[in-house]
A and B are shown apart, each in its own frame.
Chain A
Amino acid sequence: MKLIILKKNLKDGLRSIERICAENPSLPILKNFLIETIDNKIKLAATNLELGITTFISGKIIENGSVTIPLNIFNSIINNLQVEKINLELKKDKLIIKTDNYQAEIQGIKKEEFPIIPQIGNIKQFIKIKNSLLKNALISAVNSATADNRPELSGILFDFQITILKLAATDTFRLSEKTIANNHFESNFDGNFKVIIPLKTIQEVIKEIQSNESQETKIYIDQNQVLFKTENTEIISRLINGEFPDYQQIIPKNIANEIILNAEELINAVKLSSVFSDKFNEIKIIINKDAKNVEIFSASQSVGENKYLVPAKIQKMAENQMEISFNWRFLLDGLKNIKSENIFLGLNDLSKPALIKSPQDESWIYILMPIKS
């Protein structure tokens, strides 16, 4: 193998695969990545046996070949080289990196020892969606997922119903649901499906598509795998085998107290109040019927207390006064995803979850359980 690659291209390629390449005591080769020439393209691949990432970069191929080498060593060399073009050459199992005044030899391992990255079974059907939209949808859900001991919750649900695609995630304290209508994506799937995609995979996809928001991603699904395919990169992952909770029933249908708040002010208030919140991250929202604002209050016995008045329109109020507490981190996670000027806050009983969304836009909802005060 003999290649000449622009440093920028090589770095971009490495950035796509570097995060999943890690030390693995039982299979040391997993800290290596694969570099291989295929159809006049240079392929880089890495895996952690949960997901596999393959990316293609351009470069001049003088001689075909393949090898796997430790990623962190290769990465530190490339990062510190001050040249534009990098020459790579394979001699036996050694990869030689050469510039005008520098040369390094890295001991590699044969491609044959490297795990085979699986292929998706169903390549005919896919969902095509704009990166910017997909990124926002994934980010809005990713905070609510959990990495704890319930596997079916450690991922994001993709609930495809032909005319809509729903993304939902929950850690049992809160739940978020994003609905994407089919005028925002293309698809040739002919039936409904529900799959749960692991959190780690989602995080990789978000990082991958962040850099090229104007492009599109294709999502392929088969019985137990999912493939996210962008222009140059493919991320293949297992699906979580389990059933996502039937969450429709917890979305409040009747809301006793409806409040519209200014988004910026509320986010600011929550951030400020968090300074005084206790170890449970508790902040209190105090609402008075007929008032023009809502009080955000927090106190910590040893530190002090504060309150913030947020202008609000109280649309509907069942009682005269209401005090409800939330974990400010969870609250903020939800508020951050609202891009509109105002925020709709729907409260019922103190023991029932609250509903947070944008007043105009029904496509994203956030359901949060209050704290027992």
Chain B
Amino acid sequence: MDLNQLWQTTLSEIELQISRPNFLTWFKNSSLVEKKKDGEIIIGLANNFSKEWVKNKYHKVIFEILKNYDDTIKKIEYTVIENKVSLFNNVADGFEIKQPTIPELKIDPESGLHPRYKLDSFIVGSSNELAYAASLAVIKNIGKKYNPFFIYGGTGLGKTHMIQGVGNEIKKTYKNKIKVKYVHSEKFVNEVVTAIRNKRMEDLKNKYRNIDVLIIDDIQFIGGKERSEEEFFHTFNVLYENNKQIIISSDRAPAAIPTLHERLRSRFEGGMAADITYPDYEMRLAIIKTKLAEIKGDLPDNICEIIALKVQRNIREIEGILNKILFYKEVKNVDLDPKTAEEIINNVIQQSGRKITPNQIINSVAVYFEIPISDISGQSRRKSAMEPRQIVIFLLREMLGMSYPDIGEKLGKRDHTTIIHSYEKISKEINKNHSLNQKIILLKEIINENS
């Protein structure tokens, strides 16, 4: 007989001996917590009043019944186990209330997860199906199948949505039996700093080592912060050895985080690494439709299509544009025609890319490949100069929309056919060569950041 069965049988016998109200008042939510080897048994009761009452009034009865079934029981201890009331209740969601809540307070304090991110609302397409499939496998086999699970991809492509969604799904599936903790790496670093200052490193260690699923977002920020890296390394090892699931996200592959220590990098590469790339047109359209349903907005199909066509890089940007268009529609109270929608989109996109100059692109690429700028516009045909040069050409065309002759002029007076050849070469290569794709995504981000 296991503990649960034993307790149920005991309860049914107690019920016969005392009045129903008494039984309900004192034995509600009680359980057998543990049986120790030395014959001591621990009974958990709902509150302190029940504990005092049962201990003083029913001890003898319980002891006799328990002994009937299991004569190895020598002693009974009582404790309070408060029912973990469901910490998260989404009843209020769905409602449209005029008084908005302070957004950060929706985050579940225990796990740090925001209930907004659900795996159900995650749109799956070719760009993220591997990561999604791996997520599902992780949820099914926590800590066993893919550990650590590493997701990487550019900003605004849904990494945070995915890993928080996995966290929420785990909580839902396992009914809070599994302890999930989501933390942004920046917060982790802050906690390490505070712990060092207050000399309370032990607390921090305990906090992170008693978790079943640890989710760390944007791990690249931890690189270069020695003490945090070390603390994370030890935490990682403890969790990993105990078969606890670790889920990490980053904006680039482990190998591409320059400041990360070798020992951490190799550990990240030890499990499953899946990337999320740019969504294709159909997926973007699906995302727009889902988002509209979420915010209860309504837009005609042709406008959705325009948005999907024009906004290619970043899903977060899609959200911004949707809000803007809906706002416009609401304020002006007119039906949008495609032309106005296009204008709004152009405004947003241009704003973000306005300040980039050709020289910035050239500089950034040169710095990234660690070659002198003169090599890019020079005549060298070494491979170390060729690839960066072709990438510069591709980026000038893609990001700034420069004409082929203009690009040729800029890069050491090259013929425009050379430029066309380079551009097309990279355009083709990018779909086949994964590491090249990564490099370009990264470069675009660096350039956007610097502008």
Q: Are A172 and B98 in contact, with the CB atoms below 8 A? A: no
Q: Are B109 and A244 in contact, with the CB atoms below 8 A? A: yes
Chain B interface (Cβ < 8 Å from any Cβ of A): 21-22, 24-25, 47-53, 56, 80, 82, 84-85, 87-89, 91-92, 98-102, 104-107, 109-110, 112, 200
Q: A116-B49, A280-B98 are in contact. List 19 more A-B contacts (CB 8 A).
A: A27-B21, A27-B22, A47-B49, A116-B52, A117-B49, A118-B49, A149-B91, A150-B89, A151-B87, A172-B105, A192-B200, A242-B85, A242-B110, A243-B110, A245-B104, A246-B109, A247-B104, A250-B104, A282-B98
Q: Give per-residue flags for A23-58: 1 if the beta carbon is below 8 A from chain B beta carbons, else 0.
A: 001111000000000000000000101101000000
- Tell me the smallest distance from the CB of A212 to a CB of chain B, in Å: 27
A50 contacts across to B, CB distance below 8 A: 47
A interface: dominant SS: loop
Q: Are A172 and B102 in contact, with the CB atoms below 8 A? A: yes
Chain A contact residue count (CB 8 A cutoff): 47
30 A-B contact pairs sorted by A residue (CB < 8 Å): A26-B21, A27-B25, A49-B25, A49-B47, A115-B53, A116-B49, A118-B49, A118-B52, A149-B91, A149-B92, A150-B89, A151-B85, A151-B87, A152-B109, A172-B101, A173-B102, A175-B102, A241-B85, A242-B84, A242-B85, A242-B109, A243-B110, A244-B109, A247-B105, A282-B98, A327-B99, A351-B100, A353-B102, A369-B102, A371-B99
- Tell me the smallest distance from the CB of A338 to a CB of chain B, in Å: 20
- Tell me the smallest distance from the CB of B171 to a CB of chain A, in Å: 14
B80 contacts across to A, CB distance below 8 A: 223-224
Question: Within residues 115 to 153 of chain A, which ones have a CB less than 8 A from any CB in chain B?
Answer: 115-118, 148-152
CB-contact partner of B53 in A116, A150, A224, A238, under 8 A:
A116
Question: Is A273 among interface residues, defined by CB-CB distance under 8 A?
Answer: no
Given the interface contacts A26-B21, A49-B25, A242-B87, does A173 sit within 8 Å of B104 by beta carbon?
Answer: no
Q: Are A245 and B24 in contact, with the CB atoms below 8 A? A: no
Question: Is A367 among interface residues, defined by CB-CB distance under 8 A?
Answer: yes
Question: Is A372 among interface residues, defined by CB-CB distance under 8 A?
Answer: yes
Question: Is A230 among interface residues, defined by CB-CB distance under 8 A?
Answer: no
Chain A interface (Cβ < 8 Å from any Cβ of B): 25-28, 47, 49-50, 52, 115-118, 148-152, 170, 172-175, 192, 223-225, 238, 241-247, 249-250, 280, 282, 327, 330, 351, 353, 367, 369-372
A151 contacts across to B, CB distance below 8 A: 85, 87
- Tell me the smallest distance from the CB of A318 to a CB of chain B, in Å: 19
CB-contact partner of A170 in B49, B91, B105, under 8 A:
B105
B87 contacts across to A, CB distance below 8 A: 150-152, 242-243
Chain B residue at minimum C-beta to C-beta distance from A49: B49
CA distance A62 to B197 in the complex (A): 61
- Tell me the smallest distance from the CB of B409 to a CB of chain A, in Å: 44
Chain A residue at minimum C-beta to C-beta distance from B48: A118
Chain A residue at minimum C-beta to C-beta distance from B91: A149
CA distance A180 to B98 in the complex (A): 34
CA distance A183 to B88 in the complex (A): 38
Chain A residue at minimum C-beta to C-beta distance from B90: A149
Residue of A118, A175, A223, A367 with highest tally of chain B CB at under 10 A = A118
- Tell me the smallest distance from the CB of A1 to a CB of chain B, in Å: 22
Residue of B50, B51, B80, B98 with highest tally of chain A CB at under 10 A = B98
- The list of the 4 closest CB pairs from A to B, nearest first, reads A118-B48, A172-B101, A116-B52, A243-B109
- Tell me the smallest distance from the CB of B19 to a CB of chain A, in Å: 10
Given the interface contacts A224-B48, A244-B109, does A371 sit within 8 Å of B98 by beta carbon?
Answer: yes
Chain A residue at minimum C-beta to C-beta distance from B24: A26
A27 contacts across to B, CB distance below 8 A: 21-22, 25
B112 contacts across to A, CB distance below 8 A: 246
CA distance A172 to B80 in the complex (A): 30
CA distance A172 to B103 in the complex (A): 8
Chain B residue at minimum C-beta to C-beta distance from A115: B49
Chain B residue at minimum C-beta to C-beta distance from A224: B80
Chain A residue at minimum C-beta to C-beta distance from B98: A280
Q: Are A250 and B105 in contact, with the CB atoms below 8 A? A: yes
CB-contact partner of B102 in A26, A170, A244, A372, under 8 A:
A170
Q: Are A238 and B102 in contact, with the CB atoms below 8 A? A: no
Chain A residue at minimum C-beta to C-beta distance from B51: A118
CB-contact partner of B56 in A116, A225, A370, under 8 A:
A116
CA distance A327 to B48 in the complex (A): 40
CA distance A353 to B102 in the complex (A): 7
A172 contacts across to B, CB distance below 8 A: 101-102, 105-106
- Tell me the smallest distance from the CB of A22 to a CB of chain B, in Å: 14
CA distance A26 to B18 in the complex (A): 13
- Tell me the smallest distance from the CB of A105 to a CB of chain B, in Å: 27
CA distance A346 to B87 in the complex (A): 32
A249 contacts across to B, CB distance below 8 A: 104
CA distance A210 to B49 in the complex (A): 27
Chain B residue at minimum C-beta to C-beta distance from A172: B101
CA distance A38 to B48 in the complex (A): 23
CA distance A25 to B84 in the complex (A): 25
Chain B residue at minimum C-beta to C-beta distance from A241: B82
CB-contact partner of B82 in A224, A247, A330, A372, under 8 A:
A224
